[in-house]
C-alpha cells in the first residue's frame, strides 16, 4: 500500500505527513487495519523499541468543578455518582503514589478538578510534590491542575515537578461545542506556559465526542505544532449524568486507526493510551501496544480501570516490556532538547486521559476525563441509551479507605 510505505518512510525521518495522508489513515477499511497497525508499529519501534512506560494517576481533589466540559464527570451540574472530596494531604497523596510506583509506574500524575489553581493551591501541590519525591526515589511527577496563571508553572518546576499536562481535547473549530467556560486558546496558552517554564509539556485529545475525521486531524496537527513531549489519546466514556452520556460511536477498529494516525503525525513523541481503552478497545488492547509506548496503570480519576496485574500481563503476553526507571523515555534527540530547556528529567510528559492527558476528568483541562473502564465486552450500544453497565465508578484508592488498584 503506497500510502503506508510513504508514512513509514516519513515517520522514520521524523517528517510530518500531509493532512490528506492523515485523513487517509482514518479512512482505511477494516480489511486494511492490520497493515495500518504494522506500518505504524515500525515507526513506534524505531523510536521506542518495545518499551511501555507506565503512568499512575492520583486524583488530589475530586468533583465539584465550576467548568462545564461536556465530557467530564466532575463538571458543573454533573449528576454522575462519583467520589467527591477536597484536597488530599501530602502524605495521603504520597501513599497513593507509592502504590503505583510499586506496581511499576515510572511517572505519577497529580490531578485536581477545577478551572485552575490559586497560589495557595500551588503551594499545597508543591508540598505534595516534594513529599512524593522524598518518599519515592527516582519517580517522575506530572501536575495537571487546569489553567495556569503567570508564574505558577515556574513554582511547580521549582518544587520538583517534571511535567505539566493540559489537553487540547478537540479541534479549535469544535471546541465551543463541548466547553463554554473557557476557550481553546486558554488551553494553548497553558501548555505554552508550562513549556516556557522548563516543564516537559504534555497535551492530548479525547476521541469519540461526535467529532469528524477532519477534527481529529486538526487537533493532532495542532498538538504537533505545540511540540509536547507526550500526547495522551483518550477515548470518551459516556458517563451517565453528563451531556455526552449517550455518545457511543467508537469501535475498536476506529480507535486503532486514530492511534495509528497520531503515531504517524507524532512519530518520536510519547504517545499514551489513556482513558477509555478498556471499554472501547476491549480484547484488541494488545494491538494498541504496537502504536503507543505508554499507558496508565490501574484506575483513572473517577472510574475504575483494568486490574493493574492484568495490565502487566497484557504487556508481557504481547511481547513488550515495562520501561525501567533508569531508562530515558524519549529518543535521544528529544531528551537532549528537554534537558537543554531545563526540564531536568529528560523524560516525557505525563498525559492525562480524557479523564485525560494526565488523565483527568477535571474541568480546567487536565487529562483523562470522566469514567473509564469496565473490562466486560459490550453489546452493540443503543444510540439513545446510556451504557451504565460499562462504566465502573471508582470507589477505591485516593479519597477512600480502600487499597488502590495498581
Q: What span, in angstroms and rounded, lies between the C-alpha atoms of 202 and 231?
A: 6
C-alpha cell at 58: 492520583
Taking each helix axis from N to C end, the angle separating 2-12 and 252-265, rounded to the nearest 10 degrees, works out to: 50
User: Is residue 263 a known part of a binding site?
Assistant: no
Do residues 403 and 397 touch, judged by C-beta distance below 8 A? Answer: yes
User: Is residue 69 a known part of a binding site?
Assistant: yes
Q: Up-side HSE of residue 300: CA atoms within 13 Å toward CB? A: 45
Number of C-beta neighbours around residue 92 at 10 A: 16
Within 8 A by CB and 6+ apart from 294, the residues are: 52, 53, 54, 55, 230, 232, 270, 271, 272, 273, 329, 348, 351
User: Is residue 72 a known part of a binding site?
Assistant: yes
Kindly report the CA angle at 14 between 11 and 17, in degrees rounded to 5?
A: 60
Q: Up-side HSE of residue 83: CA atoms within 13 Å toward CB? A: 27
Q: What span, in angstroms and rounded, lies between the C-alpha atoms of 316 and 311?
A: 9
DSSP 8-state class, residue 183:
-
Within 8 A by CB and 6+ apart from 126, the residues are: 155, 156, 158, 159
Phi, psi of 362 (to 5 degrees): -65, 145
Q: Up-side HSE of residue 147: CA atoms within 13 Å toward CB? A: 17
DSSP 8-state class, residue 238:
-
- Catalytic sites, residue numbers: 65, 69, 72, 109, 142, 202, 272
Number of C-beta neighbours around residue 341 at 10 A: 15
Do residues 81 and 275 touch, judged by C-beta distance below 8 A? Answer: no
User: Is residue 255 a known part of a binding site?
Assistant: no
User: Is residue 109 a known part of a binding site?
Assistant: yes
Do residues 195 and 338 touch, judged by C-beta distance below 8 A? Answer: no
Q: What span, in angstroms and rounded, lies between the C-alpha atoms of 239 and 71?
A: 8
Binding residues: 65, 69, 72, 109, 142, 202, 272
Binding residues for [2Fe-2S] cluster: 109, 142, 202, 272
Binding residues for [4Fe-4S] cluster: 65, 69, 72
Amino acid at each position: 500500500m503506497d500510502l503506508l510505505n510513504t508514512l513509514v518512510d516519513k515517520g522514520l525521518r521524523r517528517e510530518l505527513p500531509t493532512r490528506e495522508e492523515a485523513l487517509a489513515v482514518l479512512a482505511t477499511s477494516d480489511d486494511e487495519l492490520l497493515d495500518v497497525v504494522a506500518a505504524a508499529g515500525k515507526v513506534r519501534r524505531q523510536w521506542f523499541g518495545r518499551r511501555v512506560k507506565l503512568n499512575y494517576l492520583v486524583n488530589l481533589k475530586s468533583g465539584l468543578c465550576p467548568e462545564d466540559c461536556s465530557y467530564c464527570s466532575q463538571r458543573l451540574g454533573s449528576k454522575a455518582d462519583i467520589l467527591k472530596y477536597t484536597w488530599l494531604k501530602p502524605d495521603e497523596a504520597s501513599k497513593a503514589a507509592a502504590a503505583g510506583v510499586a506496581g511499576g509506574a515510572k511517572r505519577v500524575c497529580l490531578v485536581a478538578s477545577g478551572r485552575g489553581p490559586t497560589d495557595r493551591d500551588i503551594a499545597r501541590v508543591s508540598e505534595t510534590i516534594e513529599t512524593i519525591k522524598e518518599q519515592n526515589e527516582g519517580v517522575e511527577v506530572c501536575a495537571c491542575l487546569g489553567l495556569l496563571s503567570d508564574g505558577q508553572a515556574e513554582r511547580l518546576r521549582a518544587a520538583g515537578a517534571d511535567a505539566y499536562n493540559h489537553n487540547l481535547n478537540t479541534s479549535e473549530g469544535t471546541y465551543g461545542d463541548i466547553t463554554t467556560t473557557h476557550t481553546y486558546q486558554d488551553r494553548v496558552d497553558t501548555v505554552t506556559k508550562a513549556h516556557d517554564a522548563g516543564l516537559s509539556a504534555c497535551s492530548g485529545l479525547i476521541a469519540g465526542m461526535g467529532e469528524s475525521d477532519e477534527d481529529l486531524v486538526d487537533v493532532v496537527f495542532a498538538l504537533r505544532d505545540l511540540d509536547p513531549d507526550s500526547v495522551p489519546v483518550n477515548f470518551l466514556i459516556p458517563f451517565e449524568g453528563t451531556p455526552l452520556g449517550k455518545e457511543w460511536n467508537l469501535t475498536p477498529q476506529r480507535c486503532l486507526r486514530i492511534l495509528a494516525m497520531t503515531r504517524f503525525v507524532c512519530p518520536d513523541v510519547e504517545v499514551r493510551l489513556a482513558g477509555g481503552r478498556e471499554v472501547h478497545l476491549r480484547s484488541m488492547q494488545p494491538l494498541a501496544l504496537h502504536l503507543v509506548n505508554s499507558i496508565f496503570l490501574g484506575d483513572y480519576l473517577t472510574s475504575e480501570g483494568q486490574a493493574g496485574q492484568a495490565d502487566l500481563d497484557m504487556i508481557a503476553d504481547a511481547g513488550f516490556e515495562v520501561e525501567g526507571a533508569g531508562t530515558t523515555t524519549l529518543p535521544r534527540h528529544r531528551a537532549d532538547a528537554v534537558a537543554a530547556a531545563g526540564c531536568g528529567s529528560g523524560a516525557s510528559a505525563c498525559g492525562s486521559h480524557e479523564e485525560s492527558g494526565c488523565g483527568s476528568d477535571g474541568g480546567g483541562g487536565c487529562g483523562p476525563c470522566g469514567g473509564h473502564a469496565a473490562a466486560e465486552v459490550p453489546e452493540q450500544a443503543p444510540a439513545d441509551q446510556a451504557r451504565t453497565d460499562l462504566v465502573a465508578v471508582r470507589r477505591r484508592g485516593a479519597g477512600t479507605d480502600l487499597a488502590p488498584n495498581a
